[in-house]
Amino acid sequence: MDQSTRPTSDGADGATGGRPRGTPRRRLAAVAALAVVPWTVIRIHGELTLVFPWGFLNTNPVELIDTYTLLVVAGGGLPRNPELLPLSILFYAVALGSAAAALVDREDPRLTAGLLVLAGVAHLGVAHAFSHRLNYTPIPFGALLMPAVAWWYYWPSLRALLLAPVPE
């Protein structure tokens, strides 16, 4: 077997189909953990607002506003491009469902990885939209963690998807 066809130690030679790293439970735990990490931390005049997929947590006064109330009932307080917040949540929720499907061997890791990257990119737009407000400093914590989780656990699958030969 010559050097060009020898499988690599990480199984990324294409013959493995780009299997993701870790066990399905570990991948699901990593994706689920993104729900409890603030996706964006917004500093406003020395106070913090934490943006989670399930709501906003203000520190002064301590107040939790769930996402449904913020988007539907209140109808305000959202940055420019307000559709990016529910879009990033939707991408994340489908990625979480896809990662959960791995427990019964039904996950397409390329879908999970792609959705995590899309959720992160969409939420970067949310953080950027907050940056246009005076004295708002957004730090896109989770928006950077989502592509990091996709890279760590699903890079072989992403590489197989992105670098797959195009049929002629």
Q: How confident is the model at residue 22 (pLDDT cuts 50, 70, 90)?
A: confident
Q: 6 or 93: which carries more pLDDT confidence?
A: 93
CA distances 111 to 46, 54, 119, 144, Å, are 39, 22, 12, 18
**In this structure, what token pair is assigned to residue 74?**
């209140």
Interval 98-114: pLDDT, tens: 999 999 999 889 999 99
Domain map (residue ranges) of the chain:
24-37+77-162
Computed over every residue of the chain, the mean pLDDT equals 84
Cβ burial of 164 (10 Å; 0-12, 13-18, 19+) is exposed
The answer to whether the CB of 53 falls within 8 A of the CB of 35 is: yes
